[in-house]
Structure 1
Amino acid sequence: MPVARGHLAEPSVIAAEELQTELERQGIAADVHDGYGLALVSVWVDLVVWSDGECYWWRTGWNTERRRTIYAWHPATDPVRAARRVARRYEDLRGTQPLPEWLAGRAS
């Protein structure tokens, strides 16, 4: 089994950590969490990227007519480009959902 950040890891965790690394290169902090064969990359309020090791997917909006969430997805074989797309979503959300005051003091 492959090793990710010093421990044995599922493909989902490896993909999530690759995305995390690419986001860090763009100055975006993110946390990786895993379980049940999936990994999550927590980026910002309303921006969580899921991975099953084959692809990444994240919420991009809401379709009011169909009353359903809209998702974007990207192959996990290309974490660099996926990180660019996630970074664009991150910038959009940062403009509409600033960091809470209580957390802003810790982030600086």
Structure 2
Amino acid sequence: MLEHRPQSGVLKRIESFGASTMLIQRTAMPSDGKAGLAVLSAHRLQSELSAQHGVPSDLHDGYGLALVSVWVGLVVWCDGERFWWLSGWDERRHRPVYAWHAALDIERAAHRIARRRQTLLSDHPLSPAIVELSSTTLSRE
């Protein structure tokens, strides 16, 4: 359930940089606070990945975070403000390298994550057994 908490209406006018103005739309805050916002953002990402990029995923949540499992080695974490995922390995420092994107820009984040999935798919394609299993399952439907 979403709780809408407007202060001065749905749209707020903000003046900045002299004469230019911007309109900012307020986002409805989930009633369970930041944890709910993480799930809401992750769900929006999951929907965008599926609708615009044909990327299936699973959504999990707990402890104030939400996880979108996209592919082997590609789990996107969300805290409601940003998404982050493993993008590589720093050989010199012996550490993982993470990419991140603001949760407000779902479309661009989904595009970057879909591109990362394509890279991983080319490096680690489906096994022949899984391809055969999925094709026989689809042919029965």
TM-score of Structure 1 vs Structure 2, range by shorter chain? 0.7 to 0.9
Structure 2 unmatched ranges of 5 or more: 4-31
Residues 38 and 102 of structure 1: CA distance in aligned 2, closer, same or farther (over 3 Å) = farther
Is 1:12 aligned with 2:52? no
CA distance in structure 2 between the aligned counterparts of 1:17 and 1:28, rounded to whole angstroms = 13
AA in 1 matched with 2:41 = A
Q: Which residue does the alignment assign to 2:65?
A: 38
Structure 1 unmatched ranges of 5 or more: none
Q: Which has the higher contact order (CA 8 A, sep 6+)?
A: 1
Matched pairs, number: 104
Which is higher, the Rg of structure 1 or of structure 2? 2
Q: Which residue does the alignment assign to 2:48?
A: 22
* The 10-residue stretch of structure 1 (55-64 or 97-106) with the greater mean CA deviation from structure 2: 97-106
Q: Which residue does the alignment assign to 1:56?
A: 83
AA in 2 matched with 1:99 = L
TM-score by length of 2: 0.68
TM-score by length of 1: 0.88
Q: Which residue does the alignment assign to 2:102?
A: 75
Give the Å deviation of 1:100. 3.1
AA in 2 matched with 1:20 = Q
Q: Which residue does the alignment assign to 2:2?
A: 2
Identity %: 50
